[in-house]
Structure 1
């Protein structure tokens, strides 16, 4: 194996602040990168596990947003603790503690799928019940549209990305169409923003916490319904989508689901 994958205390060239925060930790160097644009490395010490995310300028939300969400949620929900954050030019570094358990996408969690979907539904209801009076992150439809316009101006949104979500025309034309049929939102709630099984941790057969909070903020619960519907179908099977939303007490509005799928092209 090359140097990146050997058990070592310094597998990467890191800024001093991040190096100091990882003093006493080791890593195999394995990159746990998933669908996001962050490189993810697991570090362990004699009594603790932490994760280091590294991300350059990309279409994914900046790591500072995830940091801000976790700081706000620290005394409200089981989320990772922020150990350190550093920005060096266009590159960001974020160290967080680990949540006990394993990801709910893991087959080990699927022995009793009825219990699992009920647990996932209960956990989402808990998230949506959080008080949001002082929530600093706005993910309401108007905020999502404003962010989409900024990303178009910055050249991040391409016509290919628009086509991928089933829209047509230029990014600006597609966003104008979404703005014309934006959903009404009378009562925003706190939303995870990417409520899918890989981001929900399970310990002793129950939900133990939540990770990957870069899209979190106050907004429409349908942001989470859209992600949950897709993920339950993908990870557990289409037959479990109905039981999940029955446990939520929700009858889905598919036009609203589709709107939140389409706005994803813009951020």
Structure 2
């Protein structure tokens, strides 16, 4: 089962891989996130060339041999989605014997789980809902080369897992899903409007409830109970208990 609380800001010393040091040069390197599979994200900050202002980049790092984290696939999804929505621009990607990395340009806004927004959970939940609706409406299903459907995801499960999952509900609306629409992956401007999306490694075509179920569930992890109504209202949909339950089970089992 997936344990969301393991995705967090790293505590204590974090070894910076040589590839990340090389990408940073003389700029400062700060570890900012460790995901549930052990992948690390670093912020690189320093003066922008010729401007005298601070510039930020982010580098994802995955140790060699780690399964379930495909940075090459994420880079391809970012390149495709970037023609339609605000997502990070890929600056560089590579691999060596120790691991793989993906460097992207920083986007405006703060993560929806930045302390500023944790202190304003109702506003953050609305921004996450509005941002997800905008993403679903903007990305063209007919042109998307990636899939994330329930059938293919459930096929990866054990026989026991498929029994626990149950029958796949009828499709409500096919969209290009984010693939990990948890609250931290929406960015929010200081005025409370969403400003972009990050971490699109699983982006693909699926029923929109695959995203809606997980995004709404993540509100409880990050803000506490009581904010799903704001999320669904901002998205513009009435909660569907059957589909929510199914796609939350799938998320936990997948």
Whether the TM-score (by the shorter chain) exceeds 0.5 is yes
Q: CA deviation at 1:257?
A: 1.8
Determine if contact 2:176/2:203 at 8 Å carries over to the other structure: yes
Greater alpha carbon shift after TM alignment, 205-214 vs 82-91: 82-91
Q: Provide the rounded CA distance (Å) in 1 between the counterparts of 2:122 and 2:196.
A: 19
- State the secondary structure of the residue aligned to 1:238: coil
Give the greater-gyration-radius structure (CA). Answer: 1
Matched, 1:191 2:177: yes
Tell me the equivalent position of 1:138. Answer: 147
Q: Provide the rounded CA distance (Å) in 2 between the counterparts of 1:222 and 1:25.
A: 44
- 1:88-108 deviation digits (Å, cap 9, x = unpaired): 358321111111121111231
Tell me the equivalent position of 2:72. Answer: 64
Q: Provide the rounded CA distance (Å) in 1 between the counterparts of 2:129 and 2:242.
A: 21
Greater alpha carbon shift after TM alignment, 106-115 vs 235-244: 106-115
For the structure 1 residues 115 and 12, does the alpha-carbon distance in structure 2 shift closer, same or farther, using more than 3 Å as the test?
closer
Q: TM-score, normalised by structure 1?
A: 0.76
| RMSD, aligned α-carbons | 2.7
Count of aligned pairs between the two proteins:
233
Structure 1 runs not aligned, ≥5 long: 150-170
Greater alpha carbon shift after TM alignment, 191-200 vs 227-236: 227-236
For the structure 1 residues 12 and 126, does the alpha-carbon distance in structure 2 shift closer, same or farther, using more than 3 Å as the test?
same
Determine if contact 1:24/1:45 at 8 Å carries over to the other structure: no
Q: Provide the rounded CA distance (Å) in 2 between the counterparts of 1:118 and 1:5.
A: 34
Determine if contact 2:93/2:100 at 8 Å carries over to the other structure: yes
Matched, 1:252 2:239: yes
- 1:12-43 deviation digits (Å, cap 9, x = unpaired): 3229xx94xx2655233535324342122211
Q: In structure 1, which of residues 95, 98, 106 is the aligned counterpart of residue 114 of structure 2?
A: 106
Tell me the equivalent position of 1:164. Answer: none
Tell me the equivalent position of 2:104. Answer: 96
